[in-house]
Amino acid sequence: MDMQINWTALGVFIFFFVLVTVMGFLASRWQGGGTEHGGGDLQEWGLGGRNFGAWITWFLVGGDFYTAYTVIAVPALVYAVGAYGFFALPYTIIVYPIVFIIMPKLWQAAQRAEHVTAADVVYGRYSSRALEFAVALTGVVATMPYIALQLVGMEVVIKALGLTGELPLAAAFIVLALYTYSAGLRAPALIAFVKDLMIYVVVLVAVVLVPAKLGGYGAVFSAAQDAFAAKGGATGVTLKQSQLLPYATLALGSALAAFMYPHTLTGIFAANSADTIRKNAVFLPAYTILLGLIALLGFMAHAAHLPIATNNDVVPALFNALFPSWFAGFAFAAIAIGALVPAAVMSIGAANLFTRNFWKPYVNSNVTPEGEAKVAKMVSLVVKVGALVFIIFLPTKFALDLQLLGGVWILQTFPAVVFGLWVGWYRAPALLAGWAAGLISGSWLALADGIKPVHTYMVGGVGYTIYTGLVALLINVAVASVVQVAMGSQKAAAPAKA
């Protein structure tokens, strides 16, 4: 109802949303013309002409990696389960050494042959359409629910403004679809500057002012511990002994999977040099500090004694209760814009995969570079519409379950994408067998546990709980190795040169 609408917050929200919309449409003229590819091919539209330097890449990869759903879901998880929800911190600490070591070599392999996707790199190395298809299909399927979850983050803040129905959400995503179609990767790259600066302002203000209003951090942690003690179980402001192994394996497995997603690799492939990627691996941990501060909002919600309908309402309820309307509108705009950047890059990454690894090999092998760009633009629209339909007509839990499974699935592409950068021993049939074994075993374990990310193994009467995706990856590598041995020592493709 109109009486429930926070008009001041809504006005601020609309101002910043219009600002980034204008930036999105103007982005097609930004950073253009600096490459040999011209303005109309897939490398221009889908990778920004591979022209992004250190600062642009830093904002793009950070804006792509730390999404709106991160800002909503991490405090929600901490609010629900306590310290266990902080597993995202060690995960984002571990991931950047992995990026520093692996991604420059992967970028060099892609840049040398003008590959646009990870599946391109895999086909270039192994000359196997089946393995290429497996990597591409996994990437597309794992990305779709991830885009849907960005809509969940946007939906939460739109409802916090007092708006009801699906029309505001649909309108926001239609605008996103149009400027992404027009400007390609340059649109989210440019908007990422605004999004990241806004998120930093919101979080830094919140972690100073919210505890001050609630009696200090001592009062915040005390109230959170009391709330968890009342719940019972394994919740608390510190980890229980039984949580250490799942916490550590979740962090490690998530770190290995993070940069296998098409959207994170799109940001990597758009960089202008391997050195740019190394610099980003050094400076991106600044976002980890931000993530830790965001997670603390979950504890603060307990201290504020907010009436929460669902865990996802924690952050919007906190800002509505403790800040003036104009700042709440600013915060909600930052979160909503934080959905636009990753959703745009995710749809572009999925469109690149479809165009290069489905359309070109199986539908039109003679498609021109300009034709590839046209196909990718259309597919990016279809992907966004699909995600919107997903959220409107299916329960949110379905998107959550699929995203959890997507993390297990995308991790199974790690051997095919990464191993060949260093060793030439594995051949395509072995890697394909490993991928299938990892995918099947990981899916079976997750489904048997009711779509939980961890599985408990009983050994000598003692239970060991481990991240399912990591177990599936070990099965993947073991099967690939056994099949490779069974095939003989015939040499596979040479590892990529540095």
The tens digit of pLDDT for each residue in 224-281 reads 999 999 887 778 899 988 889 999 999 999 999 999 999 999 999 999 999 999 999 9
Predicted confidence (pLDDT) at residue 320 exceeds the cutoff of 50: yes
Cα separation, 410 vs 1, whole angstroms: 42
Give mean pLDDT, residues 336-347: 89
Number of domains observed in the structure of the chain: 1
Write the Ramachandran bin of 215: left for phi over 0, alpha for psi from -120 to 50, otherwise beta. Answer: left
Quick one: pLDDT band at residue 146, thresholds 50, 70, 90?
Answer: confident
Cα separation, 47 vs 177, whole angstroms: 17
Q: Does residue 343 form part of some domain?
A: yes
Give mean pLDDT, residues 85-112: 92
Cα separation, 355 vs 375, whole angstroms: 6
Closest CA to 126 of 141, 137, 115: 115
* Beta-bridge mates of residue 467: 454
Q: Are 463 and 241 in contact (CB under 8 A)?
A: no
Write the Ramachandran bin of 115: left for phi over 0, alpha for psi from -120 to 50, otherwise beta. Answer: beta
Q: Which two tokens stand for residue 253?
A: 């497995």
* Residue ranges of E strands in 157-267: none
In one-letter notation, the amino acid at residue 169 is L
Alpha carbon 216 to chain centroid, angstroms: 33
Q: Does residue 102 form part of some domain?
A: yes
- Enumerate residues 6+ apart whose C-beta is below 8 A from 269: 47, 50, 107, 110, 111, 115, 116, 117
Report pLDDT for 38. 42
198: number of Cβ within 10 Å: 20
E strand or H helix at 462: strand 462-467
Q: Does residue 10 form part of some domain?
A: yes
DSSP 242: G
Backbone angles phi, psi at 463, to 5 degrees: -90, 135
Q: Which two tokens stand for residue 326?
A: 């104009």
Give mean pLDDT, residues 398-424: 90
Predicted confidence (pLDDT) at residue 36 exceeds the cutoff of 50: no
Quick one: pLDDT band at residue 34, thresholds 50, 70, 90?
Answer: very low
Q: Which two tokens stand for residue 357?
A: 């690894």
Q: Does residue 365 form part of some domain?
A: yes
Cα separation, 33 vs 10, whole angstroms: 38
Share of the chain above pLDDT 70, in %: 95
Predicted confidence (pLDDT) at residue 374 exceeds the cutoff of 90: yes
Give mean pLDDT, residues 12-18: 92
pTM: 0.91
* Residue ranges of E strands in 218-326: none
**Of 16-20, 93-97, 393-397, where does mean pLDDT reach its minimum?**
393-397
Cα separation, 325 vs 308, whole angstroms: 19
Rg (CA), the chain: 22
Predicted confidence (pLDDT) at residue 497 exceeds the cutoff of 60: no
Closest CA to 339 of 379, 288, 391: 391
Predicted confidence (pLDDT) at residue 498 exceeds the cutoff of 50: no
Closest CA to 375 of 387, 359, 357: 359
Give mean pLDDT, residues 68-93: 88
Cα separation, 370 vs 100, whole angstroms: 33
Report pLDDT for 32. 54
Predicted confidence (pLDDT) at residue 133 exceeds the cutoff of 70: yes
- Enumerate residues 6+ apart whose C-beta is below 8 A from 91: 250, 251, 252, 254, 255, 258
Report pLDDT for 35. 41
Q: Does residue 430 form part of some domain?
A: no
DSSP 141: H
Report pLDDT for 377. 94
- Enumerate residues 6+ apart whose C-beta is below 8 A from 61: 264, 267, 268, 280, 284
* Beta-bridge mates of residue 464: 457
* pLDDT averaged over every residue in the chain: 89
Domain residues for the domain of 336 are 2-398
Report pLDDT for 171. 85
CATH of the domain at 47: 1.20.1730.10
34: number of Cβ within 10 Å: 11
Of the spans 247-256, 304-313, 433-442, 454-463, which averages the highest pLDDT? 433-442
Q: Are 455 and 465 in contact (CB under 8 A)?
A: yes
Quick one: pLDDT band at residue 427, thresholds 50, 70, 90?
Answer: very high
Q: Which residue has the tokens 């030439």?
A: 424
In one-letter notation, the amino acid at residue 445 is L
455: number of Cβ within 10 Å: 20
The full length of the chain comes to: 498
Share of the chain above pLDDT 90, in %: 56
Predicted confidence (pLDDT) at residue 37 exceeds the cutoff of 50: no
Q: Does residue 409 form part of some domain?
A: no
Predicted confidence (pLDDT) at residue 389 exceeds the cutoff of 80: yes
User: Which of residues 36 and 438 earns the better pLDDT score?
Assistant: 438
Report pLDDT for 490. 55
Report pLDDT for 491. 55
Closest CA to 117 of 267, 275, 280: 267
User: Which of residues 476 and 174 earns the better pLDDT score?
Assistant: 476
**Crossing angle for the helix pair 129-160 and 369-393, nearest 10 degrees?**
50
Q: Does residue 108 form part of some domain?
A: yes
Predicted confidence (pLDDT) at residue 382 exceeds the cutoff of 50: yes
Quick one: pLDDT band at residue 496, thresholds 50, 70, 90?
Answer: low
Cα separation, 161 vs 186, whole angstroms: 29
Q: Which two tokens stand for residue 345?
A: 């890059």
Q: Does residue 79 form part of some domain?
A: yes
